[in-house]
Chains A and B, each alone.
Chain A
Amino acid sequence: MSLLRSFVSNIIDFESTPKFEAIEQKMVDRDRRGFIEKVVSGSIGGSLFLMIPMQSSLFAEVLGDNEMITLEENKNKNYAFIVDVTGCIGCGSCCVADRKENNVPDGQYRTWVERYVIDIYDTVYVDSPDGGENGYSVPRDDIKEEVKDAFFVPKLCNMCEEPSCVQVCPVSATFTSPDNFVLIDKNHCVACGYCVQACPYGVRFINEQTKTADKCTWCYHRVRKGKLPACVNACPTGARKFGDLNDPQSEVSQIMDSKEILTVLKKELGNEPTLYYIGASQEVV
């Protein structure tokens, strides 16, 4: 027990944690008159909220209405999503996060993880039990030959620049927003299912609850609030990367500038996806 205690006190330096009350008290003692004047004039009101540090910050964090990125600002950004196939461990955290964030009914998937297994005779086995949501705990016994390569491939909306789903929609319920996100107007969709058939990547489905077409939006509501998409936030190995290509400091633009070979899925169809894969072999593409 004492071991644990010494371990805990080692890594948590109690002395260095800031004590807002103490700081505030010092300030009052030093210049009480000035302090009161400032409070009255309202210029110090904000710092009083530091006395209750959690509420104010958490309020902004979760509800975040005040830090919304405007549509005009968002237009100047060039978002890209990069999936590192070599880094995915197929734990399914992304799928779990996605389901909760977007309220996706059971049995339907906005994002899922596939496992590719290639044996020495180049036979490709692809499986995705429950969309990879519960991990890949059941071992595969049916592959008799020696396995040459095996990897996980997360799938999600490709956010095409020339989306075929938008082209076919008869009621303009799906569209490319001014900041280049392909979104669905749920109030306008008649669930005809044309877009479900048109999408070459199979990311669209008719949501059983809302009875409209549904798909991954790269968590548009989170991106507009300055947050990462839920799956990127959840990924334990950082295999999913999201960022602004116009910002040279962002991880995605650094990958773009590096020597990494990036591929898109089904390039020959001309959909111009903005979802890129690192290390995707020809079986995936």
Chain B
Amino acid sequence: MNSPFSFTKRLILIFIVIIVLVIIGREYFLPDSWGMYGNYRGNAVHEEANRSLVYGTNNSCESCHEEVYDMKRVGVHHRLSCEICHAPVTEHVDGNKKIADMPVKIGDAQSKLCLTCHQKVLGRFEKFPMIEYPKHLEDQDVKLTHDCNVCHTVHAPLESMKYIKKLRTLKEKVQE
């Protein structure tokens, strides 16, 4: 007759086999860094953190284009990121070599770029300097073919206006 505990021995054996299989399976199937910080692959955090940048900051532009940067610093556009009007710095330099020219917007492209912010649009708050585009040129009595840059040097738009206003008053006085 079998001992009354023989079935427990078999049961324990089966449990041990299952536990060993689970341990081997975990070792085999789970990624190396699983559980480093929690129930996920820990290296995923480092992979995400090590992704390379596309946009730099204005400091990266300043290191070469100091003269434009100084001009921009005094104007109302001093807060703007250079790269939103031009292009990301990594499309322009790679390490310490220039790889491509930065796009400089002229003509219609320039007007379009300026107007993405300065066109009068429903929803923009009142204090923001906005114009109604073709009408603005008529109002200011200038040629309709003018780029924005003709009157407003784009890096410091209101600085040049000071001189233009002086010139206009001078012209009016002469005409009188």
**A residues neighboring B (CB under 8 Å):** 3-4, 7-8, 11-13, 17, 53-55, 57-59, 61-64, 68, 71, 86-87, 89-93, 96-97, 100-101, 103, 115-117, 134-137, 139-140, 147, 150-152, 172-173, 175-178, 183-188, 217, 220-222, 224-225, 227-228, 230, 233-234, 236-238
Contacts and interface: CB of A to CB of B under 8 A. Distances in A.
Given A7-B160, A100-B88, A147-B122, A237 B128 contact: yes
Contacts of B102: none
Nearest to A85: B125
29 contacts: A3-B163, A17-B66, A57-B59, A58-B60, A63-B53, A71-B49, A86-B125, A87-B125, A89-B117, A89-B121, A97-B55, A103-B54, A134-B116, A139-B121, A147-B122, A173-B40, A178-B37, A178-B38, A178-B45, A186-B44, A220-B48, A220-B49, A221-B51, A224-B49, A227-B53, A234-B55, A234-B83, A236-B80, A237-B128
B161 to A, nearest CB: 11
A96 B84 contact: yes
A221 to B, nearest CB: 4
Given A58-B89, A100-B54, A101-B53, 10 more contacts: A11-B71, A58-B60, A92-B116, A115-B123, A117-B122, A135-B119, A221-B50, A221-B52, A221-B53, A234-B83
Contacts of B39: 172, 175
A187 B44 CA distance: 8
A61 B48 contact: no
Nearest to B91: A100
Nearest to A235: B81
B49 A54 contact: no
B110 interface: no
Contacts of A100: 54-55, 88
Contacts of B51: 221
B90 A62 contact: yes
Which residue among A53, A89, A92, A224 has the maximum number of chain B CB atoms within 10 Å of its CB? A89
Given A11-B70, A58-B63, A101-B54, A234 B81 contact: yes
Contacts of B46: 71
A116 B123 CA distance: 8
B157 to A, nearest CB: 13
Interface in B41-87: 41, 44-57, 59-60, 63-64, 66-67, 70-71, 74, 79-81, 83-84
Contacts of A64: 53
